[in-house]
Structure 1
Amino acid sequence: MADAKGDKGDKGGEEGKRKGGGRRRLSKARYERELYRLQTELVKLQEWGRGTGARIVVVFEGRDAAGKGSTIKRVTEYLNPRVARIVALPRPTERERTQWYFQRYTEHLPAAGEIVLFDRSWYNRAGVERVMGFCTPAEHQRFLRQCPIFERMLVEDGILLRKYWFSVSDEVQEQRFRRRLEDPVRRWKLSAVDLQSLTRWEEYSQAKDEMFVHTDIAEAPWYVVESDDKRRARLNMIAHLLSTVPYTEVTPPVLDLPPRPPATGYRRPPRELQNYVPDHAADLEA
């Protein structure tokens, strides 16, 4: 899916410059310093949520290669995986295709004190399913009618719902696709469907615009993240999320390391009886 104003309207922009602004990338040192500060605040948010029973849902949507996954990785880097979890669902099964469309997502919603980050979400129907013909026009229109109702129900029930759209220019997207094709550890991120983002650019733009008309609601608005510069995108998204949640710092319990007790004469089995992994690192030094 696309942002017709930010994605289609800006035809270029080197990675390292913000669209329209021509600003250079943040230095790595400044970026890492601010990222760590924001991640520290995310831990405080997590502990506040655990203490108050808050339920937080964060939806990440946008173009392929727009930086959603790398941003999610930075958000969760220091969080407790038992509290903050990522939901990235595969294609629906035959049984799931016969369910109410939102049903497969509701089972992943958070309980008290949990944070759920959707790496793509129910908005698949408004984007790739609509453009690629994986749903019928009637199913697409039903989604646009039901989605605002569904989200209002979530918010009315007390869930803190935040929705982020990652906007990337066509030139930067193509650059990232090429790097993925050439990188053996990132090649898996590309599929034939992903590559059609290039040939169906305007169709995705139109689908996104229509989706915004119906689902950019007061109870759960969309927030656009300009992501040609991934460093800025990560900092901007995390800072904004923190600014929208009324969390407070929770004083952690005081913990002291207990003294280690004296040895009692226990003797461990000989090391030769255990299997150790080879010292691969020593081979590198040699």
Structure 2
Amino acid sequence: MSQKAAKLDNDLYEAELTRLQAELVEMQEWVKATGARVVVLFEGRDAAGKGGAIKRITEYLNPRLAEVVALPTPTERQKTQWYFQRFVEHLPAAGEIKLFDRSWYNRAGVERVMGYCTPEEYQRFLRQVPVFERMLVDDGIMLLKYWFSVSDKEQEKRFKSRMTDPMRRWKLSPTDLESLTRWEDYSRAKDDMFIHTDIEPMRWHVVEAEDKKKARINMITHLLESVPYTHVDRPVIEFPKRPKGTGYRRTDQRLMSRVPDYAAALNHAEVPPKYHDPEDNGLDDNGSDDSPEAEASP
């Protein structure tokens, strides 16, 4: 039986994350300057930590250049289109990074397992997706695919924490909870998907996600190493001198509808404690470290 891996020290995690986020800003500048196009796919089990990784990646990036794509359920009209059609319109133009929080691989996972597509549609997807992705790469798009892997025990623990966490309750859906009872079905679907789509140069990169903080550090580091960015010198900005005033007077503040100063009434005794994400802490209900081993991790 393997030993439980030590959790990443929080101070070390925060310091390294900050360093990596600064590098992400450098990468973004290179993408903008060179007109590169980058697509990053985030796939994996529900509650595997995809959203948290995306949040840390985009925290300091320009949202006009680095956009998160999280598409809703297709409309009735979209269901009659070519399957990849609604994803194509979200692909990047020059100088853009698109981060897909789930992607066209929905068809190989939840749609297949839950019966949302027909067997014929699924088989057609498996035939077409390598061709589709090859077209993207041949056209110059940098395509990176990440699979966040988490064990059944860890997934169940995270689901339970969300049921009682008002900040994350919205993340639970009936489909999410049903995935607990279909663990092996999803595992087989993932294995079949890898057989058909884990091919050069569009390989899947598996992120071990039992420890969310380690997963973020590892994934972001790999992303940075996969994009051949270099430092881009930015133009020197000279702060302009404010011109001499011409007699302008501000509008009488009594004529404006101003937001009340709620902050002035705050005091330490009434401020609730800072929110801590229980999934990041890896703690059980008693506050002790109870992270499971990554057994049966797909």
SS at match of 1:206: helix
> In the alignment, what sits opposite 1:17?
none
CA distance in 2, matches of 1:105, 1:132: 21
Matches within 5 A, 1:136-147: 136-147=118-129
SS at match of 1:74: helix
Residues 125-180 of structure 1 deviation map (CA, whole Å, 9 limit, x = unaligned): 00000000000111111111111111011101100000000001111111111111
Paired positions, count = 268
CA distance in 2, matches of 1:116, 1:210: 26
Q: Structure 1: which 4+ aligned runs deviate by more than 4 Å? A: none
Q: 1:239 aligns with which of 221, 233, 244?
A: 221
CA distance in 1, matches of 2:248, 2:139: 56
Q: CA RMSD in A?
A: 1.3
> In the alignment, what sits opposite 1:6?
none
1:22 Cα shift?
2.3
SS at match of 1:234: helix
Residues 108-129 of structure 1 deviation map (CA, whole Å, 9 limit, x = unaligned): 0000110000000000000000
Whether 2:128 is the aligned partner of 1:114: answer no
CA distance in 2, matches of 1:27, 1:254: 38
Q: 1:69 aligns with which of 48, 51, 67?
A: 51
Percent identity between the two aligned chains: 67
> In the alignment, what sits opposite 1:14?
none
CA distance in 2, matches of 1:221, 1:271: 60
Please, which moves more after superposition, 221-230 or 249-258?
A: 249-258
SS at match of 2:251: coil
Whether 2:78 is the aligned partner of 1:96: answer yes
SS at match of 1:147: helix
> In the alignment, what sits opposite 1:180?
162
TM-score by length of 2: 0.88
> In the alignment, what sits opposite 1:190?
172
Whether 2:16 is the aligned partner of 1:34: answer yes
Matches within 5 A, 1:1-286: 22-285=4-267
- The one-letter code matched in structure 2 to 1:195 is L
CA distance in 2, matches of 1:84, 1:122: 19
CA distance in 2, matches of 1:50, 1:265: 42
CA distance in 2, matches of 1:88, 1:174: 23
* Gap runs ≥5 in structure 2: 271-298
CA distance in 1, matches of 2:4, 2:29: 38
SS at match of 2:108: coil
- The one-letter code matched in structure 1 to 2:90 is H
TM-score by length of 1: 0.91
CA distance in 1, matches of 2:3, 2:126: 34
- The one-letter code matched in structure 2 to 1:254 is V
- The one-letter code matched in structure 2 to 1:166 is F
CA distance in 2, matches of 1:26, 1:177: 22
Residues 156-206 of structure 1 deviation map (CA, whole Å, 9 limit, x = unaligned): 110000000000111111111111111112111110001011100000000
SS at match of 1:223: strand
Residues 23-71 of structure 1 deviation map (CA, whole Å, 9 limit, x = unaligned): 3222221111111111111111111111111000000000000000010
* Gap runs ≥5 in structure 1: 1-9, 11-19
SS at match of 1:250: coil
> In the alignment, what sits opposite 2:283?
none
1:258 Cα shift?
1.6
